[in-house]
Amino acid sequence: MAHPALRLSFPATLLTLAAATLTATAGAQDKDSPDKFEGNPSVTSHWPRGAQRGTTVEVEFTGTRLGDPRGVVCLTTPAITCSKVSASPPSANPPPRPGNPPPSTAVATLLIAPDCPSGQHVIRLLTSNGVADIATFWIGSLPEVVEQEHANNSKTDLNGTRGQAEPVPLDRTVNGTLNGMEPDTFRIDLKQGQLFTAELEATRLRSTPREDGFQPGLEITDAAGKILASGSDHPLFLTDPFLSLAAPADGPLFVAIRPVLPPENTSRRIPYRLHLGSFQRPDGVYPAGGNPGTALAAELQGLPDGQNPRVTIPLPPSGPDFPWQASPGTPSPNLLRLLAGPNVLETEPNETPEQATAVPAGPLPFACNGRVATTGDTDHFRFTAKKDERLQFRAFAQALGSPLDLKLGITRASDSSKTERADDSNDEQLGLFDSGTVREKLDPVLLFTAPADGEYLLAVSESQGSTAPQNIYRIEATAADSGFISTLQPLDRNTRLLRNAVSIARGNRVNATFSARPLPGTTPAGEYILTATGLPAGVTLLSEPFTLPAARIPVLFEASPDAAPAIAAVTIGIQSRDGQTTYPDTLRHTIPLAQLGNDATQFVTVDRLAVAVCDPAPFKLTVAPAHGPLMKNGELELEVSLDRAPGFDEPLDILLETPPKGIIGAQGVTLTGDQKSIGFRLAADTNATPGQYPVILTARNKSGDNRTGAGKIYTASNLVPVEIADPYLKIKFARARIERGMQTTVTATLERLRDLPGKATATLIRLPRGVTHKGEPVAVGPDNTLTFTVSSTQDALVGTYQGMACEISVESNGGHLRQIAGSGPIRVDPSRQANP
Amino acid sequence: MRPLPLLFLLPFSASAALKVYPDRVTLTGPQSRQALVVQHIAGDGRTTDVTANVKVQSPAPVQWDAATGLLAPTGDGSGEAVIQWENEQATLTVTTTGFAQARTPSFRLDVEPVLMRAGCNTGSCHGSGRGQDGFRLSLFGYDPAGDFFRLTREMIGRRVDLEVPTQSLVLEKSIGAVPHTGGTLFKPDSDYYRVLHDWIAAGARDDAPDTPLATGIRIFPDKIEVRASVTAPAHHRTLVMAEYSDGSLRDVTRLALFLSNNDSTATIGKDGTVTAGASGGAHVFARFDKFTAGTEVIVLPDRTDFTWPDLKPANPIDEAVFARLRQLQIAPSAPADDASFLRRVTLDLTGLPPSPEQLTGFLTDAAPDKRNHAIDRLLATEAFTDLWTMKWAEILQVKVNNQNADTGRSRQPVWKYYQWLRAQIAANRPFNELVRDLIRAEGSNTANPPANYYTSANGNIRTPMERAEDTAQLFLGTRIQCAQCHNHPFDRWTMDDYYGFTAFFKGVSQKKGASATEVFIFNRPGQTTVDHPVDGRAVSPRFLGGEQPDLKGGDPRHFLADWLTAPGNDTFARTLANRAWFHFFGRGVIEPVDDGRISNPPSNEKLLAILADHLRAARFDIRSLIRTICQSQTYQLSSTANETNASDDRNFSRSYVRRLQAEVILDTLAAVTGTPNSFSGQMPGTRATQIFDGGADRDYFLKTFGSSKRETVCTAEVRMEPTLTQALHLINGNVVDGAIQRSPVLTELMKQKPTAEAGVIALYQRALSRHPTAYELARFMESARSLPEGDQAALRKFFDDTLWALINTTEFAFNH
C-alpha cells in the first residue's frame, strides 16, 4: 500500500472514469481451435515495479498463458491507464518444467497521469482468457533510472563496493534488483548541508505469494567509508528503512542497499525501488489531521538535525484520508485525517483526570491529538455527552506509522468505578472483511453509549513501552459509522488467490459469491440486492434478494454474445429491494500479496472489483427448471446440459459452489468429453427451512492449477429457483425381524401430509449388509399401508440395526422427486436350521 | 530463603575417633525404636562401621540389640548412655517416655510413609494417573487428603474394614493373602503391617489438623570413607532422621527409600546399608515424605602406594580439583604438550583449528606465559563470539518457524534475536543482565529482540508452565517438570513450588504486532495466580526455594528477574559457571548441566563453589571465567591416562577426549581444506557456527553430526554420539571429497612444489595441528614411493588422499 495506513481508494467523483479504462488492442478473435482454450492466465512477476507520475512506462508481465493480452486495469486509481498491450516473444530462459505451460510475457504501456496519487497501486492484466493475478505498482514523483547491473542482466556484481558505485544524479528513483545477496552501491554528489534522503521500497514491493521476503538494510557512507547513517527498518514502513541527513561536506556520498537477512531462496533477483533525493521524509506529522478545507499548523518529526520544523498544510475540502507529501519528491505520503469539529491538542501535564485537556462542548465529531512521551504516560481528555448518545472512538497511531500500541479507557468524570476499555480493533470495527494482518488492528476502536448526561474522561495510554518522542496519536470521536460493506468471497477457503476477479466469457455466465453486512451505525431492514457500477458494456449482474448480514450471496454475471473484450474496475453497491436506499460503494476486498508458511502475511484491500469480458469459453452450462420441490430430508435431481465447442473434449467438473442454507450439492460430478448432459443431485437437510432458493451450478475444466486458478476456465449455469418443501408423507415402520437365509415382509404405515403431485413408489433403503429389498418398488396406494419383501443371505450380519428408511419417489412434471422417510430398526437373527 | 531446619544445627559429634549417630535419642511409646550408627574414624580419615560390636550402657530403661542396631524402650526414664567400642567410648542422651501407652498410628505420619516405602504409590503401581486395578493413590503421596478419602471412603468397607481389620483389602493385598498384581510387599509380623493394622483397628481416622508435618530429613553418617576390596567389600550402615514441625525428631530409616548416584562405587540396600565397590566417589540418598538427603561415600583404591605427581596448582580451580583427586587417591595426567594445548584451546574457544602459522608461531615462542597469551588472543576473536552465541542460541531455541506467522518465529524476528544475543556476547555484557533482559522482556519481538524469549520455536503459544519450566532449567539448572503433577521424587520441589514459580508467568501474553511477522509480548495486569490442581487454591508467585515477593501490582517477572540474577542467588551463578565448565570438559561439575537436584550433587562441590564465586566476583563476565578455566592446570592436562585415572570420568584428572560439535567439524573441514561452505538462506561466507537459526534443518552434514534442533532448552539436544552414518558420510559423502577436490589449500601447496614428505608434514600440521610421528610419516612415504617422478597430477592425487585420510582419522573429529 502507498502507506500501510491507507485503504486504497479513489474519489467518488472520478468513479465514472474508472468504469472502462480498457484499451483493447488487436481485434479480439474468436477461438476456433481447441488448443486455444488455455484458461486463466497467471502473472508471477513484472518489471518495473513502479513509475514516475506524469510519464508513460512499459511494464513487462511474466507468467503463463499471457500470449494474447487485451488490456490492463488499475483498481486503485483512474490515473493509471493502459494505452497499448502486446505479447512479447517467449523467452527461452528458463525452459518450462515438464507438464507446465511455457512461460510467456506481455508488455503493457501504462500512462500515469500527473495527478496520480503516489504510493502503491494495484493493476491487473487481461488476456483473451481471463484476468491475471494482481500486481502492485508503485508511483513516485522522481525521475526513474534502472540499475545498470539489472539493465545489463549481469550475472556478476557490478556495484558491490564503494569503488564500483553506480553514479546517480540527485532526485532519482532507482529501479534495481539485488542479485546473489551482493550489495548494490550508488554514488550521489551533494553540497555541504544539503538535505539528502534515501527511502527504500523493497519488502513492500512483494506482489505475489511466490516472492520471498528478505530484510534490506540501507547504509550511507562518506568517501572515506565512514558510516554516516544506517538502518534496516523503521516504524513508518516497518521492514523498509529510510535514512535522512544533511550532507557533511561537498562531495559524494555512497548509499548501499544490502540484505542483512537473506531470503530462504537466494537465487532469485529481488526487486527494489530506491528513492535518492533532496526531499523531506518526516516520520510523523503532529497533529495528524484537522478540519477539512482549512490550513493546518503542524510540526514535522524525524527530519535530520533533530529539528521539528513547523509547517502550514492546506487541507483539502473532503476526506477523511489525506495522503500528504511533505515535499514534491517525497515518495510515500504521510497520512493525515480530515474531520469537522474541534481538533483538540493535548496540554501537558494531563496524567491525571484532574489535569485532563478539555474538549469544547458541542455536537460530535471531535478529535484529540497527543503524544505518549514516557513509559506509563497516560493522557486524559475531558468531553461531554448526552444520555444514550452513541460515540465511536477510533484511535490512529499505527495507522499513522507511529509505533504506539494504544489503549483507550472511558470513565464518567463523576464516577471512576466503571471504565469502558478497548485495546485493539477488529475487521468489523474498521469496516473491513477478512483483512488478515493489518497494523491498524492495533489501534483500538471503542463504541461507547453514554449512560447519562455529563462529563466523561478519555484516557489514552500505551501498552508496549514504546515511547520514542515521535509517538504521535490521534483519537477521533464520531457517530458510529453507517452504511454497508461487501466483499467478494473466495470460493475456496484455502486459497484466496482463486478467482478474486470476475472473468466472463462472451455469451456466457460466471458466478461469484459475496458477503455483506451493516456498519455499526446502521440497522438493516428488509431485503437488499447487490448492484454493480461501471460494468463493461454488455455485462449484467443478477443478484437475488437477501437479508443482512449475509455470509454467502450468490450472484451471476452474464456477458452478451456481442460484448466487446474489456476490463473494468467495478464498484459494488447494496440497494434496498424497493430501490429507495442505495449504498453505491461498499466493496472492501482484501487480497493476499505474500505468504509465509501457511499464512498470508501481506495484503491489499481494494474497493474495486476487476470484471472482464473474455473470449468465448469452450462450454456453456444450462440447467433445466426443477421438476418440483426439494423435500426436507429428500433429494432432487437437476438436469444439466452442456454445450461444448467442437473439438473440446476435456472432462468438466460440475459444482454447486454456493449452496443455499440447508442444501447440499452432489460431490464429484464430472462430465466426460462425450457427455452432453448429466443429472446433478441436490439434497436437503432435515432442518432446512421451506422456501424458494436460487441455485447456480458451475462448470470447471479439470486441467489447470487448483490453488491459483491458472489454466482454469469457469462458466456458470443459469439461475434456477429451487423450492424446499415439507415432505409429502410420514412413515412409521412396524417392528421387523428376519432370519438369515430367509425372506420376510416389512410393513409400514404412512401418513399423508400433502397431496402427491403424481404416482409414488417406495423402496427400503439403509438395510444392513446381506439384507435386501426384493422386487420392484412398492406403489403407494390409497390404503396407507406399505408392505415390502426383504430377503437375507446366510452371511448377513446378526444383530439389531437402526436407521432402516424408506425412499419415496414421486412423479412430478416428467421427473422424479425423492423423499427419505421413516426410520426404524430391523433385527437379523441367526438361522434356526444352522448347526449350533 | 527458608530457615534452616533445626536438624542441621544439631551437634552430632562427641569423640574424634568414635562417632555415634544420633547423639540424642527420644523414644516415645512402647513401639518406638531408634537405630544407632557407630562409626570409627581412623587417623587417615577412613571410617569403619562398628555398630554391631558396641556395648551400650544406659541409665535409662532401654534395650540394645546389636544385630539390628536398634534401641528399644523398656520403661520411662532418661540419662547419658555410654557407647563403648574397644578402647573408645562416646556418650548419648537417651530419654524414654509414654511407655505405658501405645500410640495410635497417624495417617500422615505413619500410614502414608508405609505406602511410600512399600512402593504402593509409585507411578507403576497405584500412583499411576489412572491408579492400578481400580485403586489410585497420589503419586509419591502428594495428596494425603485424597489418599485418605480413597482408602476409607471411595469403597466403604472394602479397602479398610473397621469391623474386621485383618480383612481390609489393603492389608490382605499387602501380605499376598489375596491375589495382588504388585505381589507380597511385607509380612504380617512386620512393623509395616502393624502400623496399617493398628491404624485401621483404631478406626482409620484422619489426622487432627494440628498433626505435625515433616519439615526435613538428614542421612547419617556425614561421610563414609572406606578402601575398595574385591574379596571383602566394606559395609556401612546409614541412619535417616526426620524433623517435624513441632520440633520432634524421629528415626525413619525403616520408612525411607535409598538410592546411590554411582552404583559402581557404592550401592545402598533397602535397609540403608552401603556396600563399597570400585574406587571413586559416590553419594547415597534417602527419600522420605517429600524430602531427599544425601551423604558422601568415598571408596579408596585397594592399593596403598599412591603418590602425588609433581604438579602445582595454577589457580584456585586446580586447588579444588587436586584436593579432590588427592582425596580419592587419583593422580592427574601430565600436562599436555604445546601442540595439543593449542589445538584444544583454539577449537574450544573459536570452533576452528589453529592455522599452521599460528601453530608454528606458538611452538617456537619461548615466552613462559605464551599459553595465557594464546588464551587472551582467542577470547578476543569474533569466532569466540560466534561460538558462544551459538551455544546460547541452541538452548534459547533461536529457531525459525515459518509455518505460522502468528507465533512470531519468522525469519526476521529470529534473526533479530540472534543479532541481539550476539551483540550482548560480543560486548561481554554481564550474563546476569542479559538474563534479566530476557525474563523482563516485553513489547515488539522485532524492536525488542529479547521478547523472543517468550515466543515458541515449536509453533505453539507457550503456557505459563512451559515458560516456568524452561526458565528453571536454563538459568537455575533445575528440572521442575515432575512437580507439575506430583512432588518431585528425587528433589525437594513440591507442587506448591512448581505452581508458585509458574505464577510468575501467568500474565505473559502475546498478540499480533504491527507487521505480519511481529508479535507483542505483554503482561496482563492482575493475572498473578495459578490454580493448584489438587485443591484449586490460587497459588501466588514464589521464588523457587525462596520467598514470596510483594508484587504491589507490578509485573511479577520483574521481581523474578531481579531475584534470579542477583549475585546472592547461588543457584544462578552455579548454573552459569557449570555450563561454562561443561564446554571445556564435555562434562559439568553437575552432570547433566541442567539437572541439578539433591540426588545429583556436584562431583566436586568445592570446585563448583569456586567457579560460581569467580563468576560473581567478575560481575558475571563470562570471558573472565573462561579465561581462568583455560589457564588452569586442570584444563591443560594431557588426555593420556595413567594407572590411577583411567576410569575417572568425573573428577577431571585428565583431559577428556570429546567429539567436536557438528558445526565445529564442518567449519574445521572448511578451514583445513580452505573450501568454504555455503548454507541456504544465510549470507555468503557464513560459517556453520554462524547460522543464526541453527543448521540441523538445513544441512545434511550438520543434521547427521547431531546439530541441535533448537526445539527444547535441553543441552542434550546437541548430539555428540558417533554414529555409523557420520563415519560413512566422512568417508563417502560429497562434503569431504568435494572440499578436497576444490581445496585452494592443496592448490597453494602444489604451487610451492613440495616433496611428498614436506607435503605430508604440512597437511598433518593443518589437519591435526601436529607433526606426524615417525611411524606415520614412514607409512605415508611408503605409499609415496610409487609416485612417478615429476608427475604433478599424481602428487596432487597423493596429497588429496593424504588429506582425505587425515580428515577420516578419529583424531580429526575429536578434541583431546
Average of per-residue pLDDT values in chain A: 88
Cβ(A536)–Cβ(A612) under 8 Å?
A: yes
Confidence (pLDDT) at A778: 87
Sorting pLDDT into bands at 50, 70 and 90, what band is B579?
Answer: very high
Nearest CA in chain A to B511: A442
Sorting pLDDT into bands at 50, 70 and 90, what band is A93?
Answer: low
CB contact under 8 A, A597 and B405: yes
Non-local (6+) Cβ contacts of B387 within 8 A are B349, B350, B351, B664, B689
Sorting pLDDT into bands at 50, 70 and 90, what band is A1?
Answer: very low
Task: Show residues of chain A in contact with B522, CB under 8 Å.
Answer: 463-464
Query: What is the crossing angle of helices B792-807 and B662-673, to 10°?
Result: 160
pLDDT tens, residue by residue, B36-76: 999 999 888 899 999 999 999 988 899 999 888 999 999 99
Confidence (pLDDT) at B4: 45
Task: Show residues of chain A in contact with B516, CB under 8 Å.
Answer: 436-437, 594, 596, 599, 601-602
Confidence (pLDDT) at B12: 42
Q: Which of A239, A442, A598 lies nearest to residue B412, judging by beta carbons?
A: A239
What mean pLDDT do residues B157-172 have? 91
Task: Show residues of chain A in contact with B410, CB under 8 Å.
Answer: 596, 601
Reported as half-sphere exposure (CB side, CA atoms, 13 A), residue A828 has a value of 22
Percent of chain A's residues with pLDDT above 70? 91
Q: Which of B412, B442, B682 lies nearest to residue A465, judging by beta carbons?
A: B442
Q: How close B440 comes to chain A (CA, Å)?
A: 12
Query: What is the crossing angle of helices B774-784 and B756-768, to 10°?
Result: 130
SS3 labels along B89-134: EEEEEEEEECCCCCCCCCHHHHHHHHHHHCCCCCCCCCCCCCCECC
Q: What does each C-alpha distance from B287 to B252, B598, B746 come to in angstroms?
A: 10, 10, 63
Confidence (pLDDT) at B6: 45
Distance between CA atoms of residues A164 and A257, nearest Å: 14
pLDDT tens, residue by residue, B317-332: 999 999 999 999 999 9
Distance between CA atoms of residues B600 and B591, nearest Å: 8
Sorting pLDDT into bands at 50, 70 and 90, what band is B199?
Answer: very high
Q: Which of B442, B512, B684 lies nearest to residue A464, judging by beta carbons?
A: B442
Task: Show residues of chain A in contact with B695, CB under 8 Å.
Answer: none
Chain B residues bordering chain A (beta-carbon distance below 8 Å): 401-406, 410-412, 415, 442-444, 446-448, 511-518, 520, 522, 680-684
Grid cell listed for B169 = 483389602
CB contact under 8 A, A597 and B520: no
- pTM score: 0.86
Sorting pLDDT into bands at 50, 70 and 90, what band is B394?
Answer: very high
> Above 50 in pLDDT, residue A265?
yes
What mean pLDDT do residues B238-258 have? 93
Non-local (6+) Cβ contacts of B474 within 8 A are B395, B396, B594, B713
Distance between CA atoms of residues B78 and B30, nearest Å: 15
Confidence (pLDDT) at A776: 86
Lowest mean pLDDT among A818-822, B393-397, B571-575: A818-822
Task: Show residues of chain A in contact with B448, CB under 8 Å.
Answer: 465
Q: Which of A235, A464, A594 lies nearest to residue B443, judging by beta carbons?
A: A464
Distance between CA atoms of residues B64 and B71, nearest Å: 5
Which amino acid is residue B32, in one-letter code?
A: S
Q: Would you list the DSSP string of A19-50?
A: TT-----S------SGGG-----EEEEEE-SE
Q: How close B475 comes to chain A (CA, Å)?
A: 26
Cβ(B408)–Cβ(B518) under 8 Å?
A: yes
Confidence (pLDDT) at B465: 94
Closest alpha carbon to A417 in A451, A389, A462: A451
CB contact under 8 A, A266 and B681: yes
Q: Would you list the DSSP string of A235-297?
A: TTTBTS-EEEEE-SSSEEEEEEEEEEE--S-TTS-EEEEEEEES----SEEES-EE-TTSEEE
Phi, psi of A110 (to 5 degrees): -110, 135
Task: Show residues of chain A in contact with B511, CB under 8 Å.
Answer: 424
Question: Could you tell me the sign of the dihedral formed by the alpha carbons of B318, B324, B327, B332, in that order?
Answer: negative
What mean pLDDT do residues B399-410 have? 79
Non-local (6+) Cβ contacts of A92 within 8 A are none
Distance between CA atoms of residues A16 and A343, nearest Å: 34
Percent of chain B's residues with pLDDT above 90? 74
Q: What is the CA radius of gyration of chain B?
A: 31
Distance between CA atoms of residues A336 and A284, nearest Å: 10
Q: What is the DSSP letter of A91?
A: P
Distance between CA atoms of residues B571 and B392, nearest Å: 18
Grid cell listed for A579 = 430501490
Cα-to-chain-centroid distance, residue A674: 38
Confidence (pLDDT) at A34: 45
Confidence (pLDDT) at A15: 34
> Above 60 in pLDDT, residue A18?
no
Grid cell listed for B135 = 485403586
Cβ(A165)–Cβ(A266) under 8 Å?
A: no
Q: Which of A266, A464, A602 lies nearest to residue B516, judging by beta carbons?
A: A602
CB contact under 8 A, B403 and A442: no
Confidence (pLDDT) at A375: 66
pLDDT tens, residue by residue, B719-758: 888 889 998 998 888 899 999 999 999 999 999 999 999 9
Task: Show residues of chain A in contact with B520, CB under 8 Å.
Answer: 405, 442, 463-464
Closest alpha carbon to A680 in A711, A722, A709, A650: A722
The SS3 assignment for B371 reads helix
Non-local (6+) Cβ contacts of B795 within 8 A are B750, B756, B759, B787
Cβ(A779)–Cβ(A804) under 8 Å?
A: no
**Dihedral angle of Cα A660, A665, A667, A669, to the nearest 10 degrees:** -120
CB contact under 8 A, A259 and B683: yes
pLDDT tens, residue by residue, B102-129: 888 999 999 999 999 999 998 889 988 8
Average of per-residue pLDDT values in chain B: 91
Sorting pLDDT into bands at 50, 70 and 90, what band is A102?
Answer: confident
What mean pLDDT do residues A343-363 have? 93
CB pairs below 8 Å between A and B: how many? Answer: 88
Q: What is the DSSP letter of B681?
A: T
Confidence (pLDDT) at A36: 63
Encode burial over A707-729: b for 16+ CB neighbours within 10 A, e otherwise. ebbbbbbbbbbbbbebebbebbb
> Above 90 in pLDDT, residue B534?
no
Confidence (pLDDT) at B488: 77
Q: Which of B399, B512, B692 to mutate to test the interface with A (most CBs of A within 10 A)?
A: B512
Confidence (pLDDT) at A5: 38
> Above 70 in pLDDT, residue A468?
no
Confidence (pLDDT) at A89: 76
Sorting pLDDT into bands at 50, 70 and 90, what band is A30?
Answer: very low
- Which residues in A328-377 belong to E strands, given as ranges? 334-338, 343-345, 357-358, 366-371
Confidence (pLDDT) at A465: 66
- Which residues in A585-728 belong to E strands, given as ranges? 589-596, 599-606, 609-614, 619-623, 630-631, 634-644, 652-655, 663-665, 669-671, 677-684, 691-695, 698-701, 714-716, 720-725
φ/ψ region of A305 (left if φ > 0, alpha if ψ in -120 to 50, else beta) reads: left
CB contact under 8 A, B444 and A266: no
Q: Long-range contact list for A640-643, CB < 8 A, 24+ apart?
A: A640/A671, A640/A677, A640/A678, A640/A679, A640/A680, A640/A697, A640/A717, A641/A676, A641/A677, A642/A671, A642/A675, A642/A676, A642/A677, A642/A678, A642/A699, A643/A619, A643/A676
Cβ(A574)–Cβ(A516) under 8 Å?
A: yes
| Strand-pair partners of B257 | B287
Q: How close B523 comes to chain A (CA, Å)?
A: 9
Q: Which of A261, A436, A594 lies nearest to residue B411, judging by beta carbons?
A: A261
> Above 90 in pLDDT, residue B508?
yes
Confidence (pLDDT) at A212: 59
